[in-house]
Amino acid sequence: MRVEIWSDIACPWCYVGKARFERALAAFPHREQVEVVHRSFELDPGRAKDDVQPVITMLAKKYGMSEAQAEAGEDALGAQAAAEGLPYRTRGRDHGSTFDMHRLLHHARERGRQAELLDLLYRANFAEERSVYDDDERLVALASAAGLDADAVRQVLADPEAYADGVRADEREAAQLGATGVPFFVLDRTYGVSGAQPAEVFTRALTQAWGERPPLKPVDGGEVCGPDGCAVPQQ
């Protein structure tokens, strides 16, 4: 079974939702047969790379609230993250374009290191002081820690078209599937789960999707080998 997760590194509910989903998956009896693929979704598409501002300022402006209200919201998110065992800095974080990070995640997926890089990007954005925005060498260091070649990562970052089509394709597909926000989980292209749901919701979704997979329809007639040997060609 395949689970596709549309998310953005700048999305706190994606950070929390990923932890909740993984808790459900860890307890799922068929977890070894579940492939998890992370898809790209930008909350702020088209934002310039050098357009970086404090999260509190961004929230107050975007949602028409006071900075005190934005800070209260961050405190609430910090509590939700803490309940999942996740570190979360409620003050001093910034916000910017995640396009380059998504391009690197596509690069990492080709090399089997997508999950490792995503975890490091989330932690860097939500828990560490040094910004992940407008700082290519910060991204190079994180990608290297995820097991990627630093020079290859620099080449991707230097070419704005590298993996750009993959990011845009993910985003178009999200729209086609009806996703208007993230996190958005799609199980075997049959069930969709929107938002950072409790782990119990993910458990039910995994169980239902697994139970309703169509049975294999074999086509008989070819020669095979089995426990008792192989079919011998007849003259």
Q: List the structure tokens of 24.
A: 């459900």
pTM of the model: 0.90
Q: Return the pLDDT at 219.
A: 66
pLDDT exceeds 60 at position 120: yes
Average pLDDT over residues 95-100: 98
221 vs 25: CA distance, rounded Å: 38
DSSP 38: E
Q: List the structure tokens of 53.
A: 């501002």
136 vs 116: CA distance, rounded Å: 18
Q: Are 90 and 71 in contact (CB under 8 A)?
A: yes
Strands, E, within 8-144: which ranges?
35-40, 53-54, 94-95
Q: Return the pLDDT at 228.
A: 61
Q: Are 223 and 231 in contact (CB under 8 A)?
A: yes
Average pLDDT over residues 112-140: 96
Q: Is 24 exposed, middle or buried (0-12, 13-18, 19+ CB in 10 A)?
A: buried
The 10s digit of each residue's pLDDT in 181-222 is 999 999 999 999 999 999 999 999 999 999 987 766 666 556
